[in-house]
Amino acid sequence: MLIHPNFLPDSSHGNSFTEVIDYCKKLVPDADGFRCHRYFEVNDIMDDFEKRGFKFVSNHCTRCETHIKPLLHRSGLLSLPIFLEDGGYLLMDTTLDFTHLISRLETPGLKIINFHPAHMAFNTPDFGYTRRIKDSMSREAWNQIAGEQIQKIEYKKLGIRHIIQDIIALAFKRNYKVLSMHEIYQEHLTSTSQLSLV
């Protein structure tokens, strides 16, 4: 499992880098990978994670770049860049026209897709939609929102859920290899160890 630490001010995870990492490690003691909320990152955080035995991070969000490969961060962590993040895509292509993505999805390279459960649940059609819903209630109410309430306020027309579903359908239709983050990490280790033997 991976963790998703929030290092921003007013975080429910803690008031310092160490507190936040400690909190997340208590939730998932054997976590060895992470992505920070809002992609927040400084060298101190990366170094701390590496010292705690973390192996990889997926904290670099691209605009659907092609030919993405894992990168070795200066801390020693393997960085697995994100191809598409739902919020970023909502800003990038406000038409939500899946055909714009197909040629990029068909290129070589990693296609890590990062999506938020809230955007999927509400079928967010634009960047502000889910934000307005979240801002209309307390943190406690947001964390306990019921399925019936979600069904009432979810967007019924074309939204980000459709884009994610179309990506998944294309991957299966084209028989693309679908891997977990751990499998990507292991595959990278295997390929680099074979290269060093040559």
**pTM for this model (two decimals):** 0.90
Residue 51 maps to a domain: no
Identify the pLDDT of residue 194.
61
Residue 137 maps to a domain: yes
Residue 64 maps to a domain: no
Residue 9 maps to a domain: no
Separation of alpha carbons 63 and 88, rounded Å: 7
Residue 50 maps to a domain: no
Residue 39 maps to a domain: no
The model's pLDDT over 129-165, given as tens digits with 9 standing for 90+, comes to 999 999 999 999 999 999 999 999 999 999 999 999 9
- The answer on pLDDT for 195 being more than 80 is no
Range of the domain at 170: 83-185
